[in-house]
Amino acid sequence: MIWLDVDAALAEVPVNCLPLISDSDFVTVDETIAYNESGMDLYWHFVTTAGVTTVTSVTPTTSGVYDWAHQDHGMYTIEIPDTGGGSINNDREGFGYFTGVCDAVLPWRGPTIGFRAAGLNDKLCNWLYSPYRGLAGTALPNANADAAFGIPTSDAGGLDLDAILADTNELQTNQGAWATATGFSTHTAANVWSVATRKLTATGLDLILKDSTFALAMADAVWDELLAGHTTADTFGLVLNELDVYHADIDLSVDEANTQDEWTATWFLNGVAVTSSITVPKIQVVKRADGTDLIAATSMSEIGSTGSYKKDEGTNRITAGQAVVAIVTATIGGSSREFRRVVSRDSTA
């Protein structure tokens, strides 16, 4: 593998891995192959770092952008420009090699060449190894070391951590002298508490030191907080702000002639009757005794435009002393809602 700088004009890129030899005796090295040799057919095979492969025909020149040259002992090179070439340019990171054929010699293949940033070649190929930084080069700036790794650094240089540790230990040792130092209060907590006229105001941070006042103030603040101000996702305030409570009132009446059971359902949202946007209202009545249907799920019809719905049943009626579970369902506000109520009939009247 050969590594070369990308985005640079290259004067001598190897064309073949082994010397070009005669196709007649397979031994003789041919040092006379010209750029315009009879039968010359040269190709550049290139693979980008993204895995895209291209094969491009290249015509060698003697005074152009693809100048062909014999180096020594049957080894040849060609020029590759960084830009402006008619067929290939050194303008992309990746890997490439030449293949070729011409009269008088055997077909050939060139070495694989990697093209990468010049800075990488400088670090990995050209610079010395450092026992402190691995590859020798500019040391990591203090700011970068601190930001990336949390390493203590000194802008002025000469940071002495041992001296800082010694100073810290001294502070701990001498803390008993702080009470008498200039600028420090000499009063203890007992001194403060023994003052008969001590008093805390009922506002500001002093509230946290007054049990009853603080508790009342905090309770008032919480209950007086406006829900509209809580719109942050995944917070309890948002849940309360957007909370909707649905329920239904289910009623059973018997007509005057005692010939049918009259079921009525009215839906409520947050305590207010819902009168619109109710679809697919149904009722199902289940016997409490055995869990079988007295009335299978069936549609209910609206009572005028009141938003209340009814179902009159003359066949499958509740008998005296029987208890049932009435289940009403409907789509309200775009979601399916279901409500239940235990209903009983204790007399035949």
CA gap 108, 18 in Å, rounded: 8
pTM listed for this prediction: 0.42
**What's residue 315's pLDDT?**
95
The CB density around residue 322, as the number of other CB atoms within 10 Å, is: 15
**Cross-sheet strand order for the sheet of 68-72:** 10-14, 75-80, 68-72
User: What Rg value do the Cα atoms of the chain yield, rounded?
Assistant: 46
Using one digit for the tens of pLDDT, what is the confidence trace for 189-239?
787 778 777 665 555 555 555 555 666 777 787 777 777 777 778 787 777
Q: What domains, with CATH codes, occur in the chain?
A: 2-119 (2.60.40), 198-237 (no CATH), 246-345 (2.60.40.10)
Q: Cβ atoms within 10 A of the Cβ of 300, count?
A: 21
The answer to whether 104 and 23 have CB atoms below 8 angstroms apart is yes
Q: How far apart are CA 267 and CA 307, in angstroms?
A: 8
pLDDT tens for the 349 residues of the chain, in order: 999 999 999 999 999 999 999 999 999 999 999 999 999 999 999 999 999 999 999 999 999 999 999 999 999 999 999 999 999 999 999 999 999 999 999 999 999 999 999 988 887 887 666 655 555 555 656 555 666 666 666 666 667 778 888 888 877 777 666 656 666 666 777 877 787 776 655 555 555 555 556 667 777 877 777 777 777 787 877 777 667 889 999 999 998 888 999 999 999 998 899 999 999 999 999 999 999 999 999 999 999 999 999 999 999 999 988 999 999 999 998 899 999 999 998 755 4
How many alpha carbons lie under 13 Å from residue 68 in its C-beta half-sphere? 21
* In 51-178, alpha helices (H): 118-121, 142-149, 161-173
- Kindly state the tokens that stand for 181: 């130092």
**Residue 213: per-residue pLDDT:** 65
CA atoms of 278 and 339, how far apart (whole Å): 14
3-state secondary structure of 126: helix
